[in-house]
């Protein structure tokens, strides 16, 4: 868990509560644990300083070339999908700002997150350290290959558009686990948020959730 004292002192507290009430609860996401996590994590600390006034707007925000911090509703939706089962270990592919990792850290025992870009990795690490998230571990690397040393995971979340999930990543999901990712369609900007569930060792079920728009995985 993060530093609650620091979070409760911030000047954006009322905006964050309004964000949750209007953008998340207002769109029929009602899980109390997700709502609490979204009210707790100070989203404005995960965006560039000059964009903090827009941190609680109902939209994704740019972090730099080819990277964004997702719309609050999408973060909440992916989190709600993630907590449908066991909550011991979650792997995030694409740390970005670290915001999704912080939200997950409010709900999971252990969060592992991989980022390809060193600058993003370092920035996210500083923010998570400032907020005292001790149950988040970060790594620089190609997230498509996962983090096999810490597997298996109850949940794997992919935060960039991808057309297929590599076998190496599938193998790191435990039986009964869920892999949540935006599936890209070749030749199209359209994506579909999907949940791939491992029902047995060799059997998988996939369901579509909602159309989304993520930056593509590089």
Q: Give me the catalytic one of 36, 70, 113, 184.
A: 70
* The token pair that represents 171 in the structure block: 């193998």
- Spell out a b/e string for 110-123, using b for 16 or more CB atoms within 10 Å of the CB, else e: bbbbbbbbeebbeb
- Spell out a b/e string for 65-76, using b for 16 or more CB atoms within 10 Å of the CB, else e: eebbbbbbbbbb
Q: How many CA atoms lie within 13 A of 69 on its CB side?
A: 25
**C-alpha distances in angstroms, 170 versus 29, 118, 137, 196, 207?**
28, 25, 20, 9, 16
Give the residue carrying structure tokens 């390809």.
116
Distance separating alpha carbons of residues 170 and 39, to the nearest angstrom? 32
Distance separating alpha carbons of residues 101 and 128, to the nearest angstrom? 9
Distance separating alpha carbons of residues 113 and 57, to the nearest angstrom? 25
Q: Is 70 a catalytic residue?
A: yes
Give the residue carrying structure tokens 């599938």.
170
Distance separating alpha carbons of residues 149 and 147, to the nearest angstrom? 6
Q: What residues are annotated to the active site?
A: 70
């Amino acid at each position: 868990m993060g530093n609650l004292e620091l979070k409760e002192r911030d000047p954006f507290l009322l905006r964050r509560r309004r964000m949750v009430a209007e953008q998340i609860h207002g769109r029929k996401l009602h899980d109390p644990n997700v709502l609490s996590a979204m009210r707790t994590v100070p989203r404005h600390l995960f965006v560039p300083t000059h964009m903090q006034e827009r941190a609680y707007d109902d939209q994704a925000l740019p972090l730099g070339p080819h990277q964004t911090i997702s719309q609050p509703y999408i973060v909440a939706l992916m989190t709600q999908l993630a907590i449908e089962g066991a909550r011991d270990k979650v792997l995030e592919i694409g740390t970005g700002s670290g915001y999704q990792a912080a939200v997950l850290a409010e709900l999971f025992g252990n969060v592992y997150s991989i980022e390809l870009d060193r600058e993003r990795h370092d920035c996210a690490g500083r923010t998570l350290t400032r907020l005292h998230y001790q149950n988040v571990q970060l790594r620089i690397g190609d997230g498509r290959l996962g983090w096999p040393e810490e597997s298996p995971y109850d949940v794997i979340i992919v935060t960039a558009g991808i057309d297929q999930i590599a076998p190496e990543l599938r193998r790191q999901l435990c039986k009964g686990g869920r892999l949540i990712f935006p599936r890209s369609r070749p030749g199209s900007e359209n994506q579909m948020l999907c949940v791939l569930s491992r029902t047995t060792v060799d059997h998988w079920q996939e369901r579509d959730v909602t159309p989304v728009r993520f930056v593509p995985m590089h």
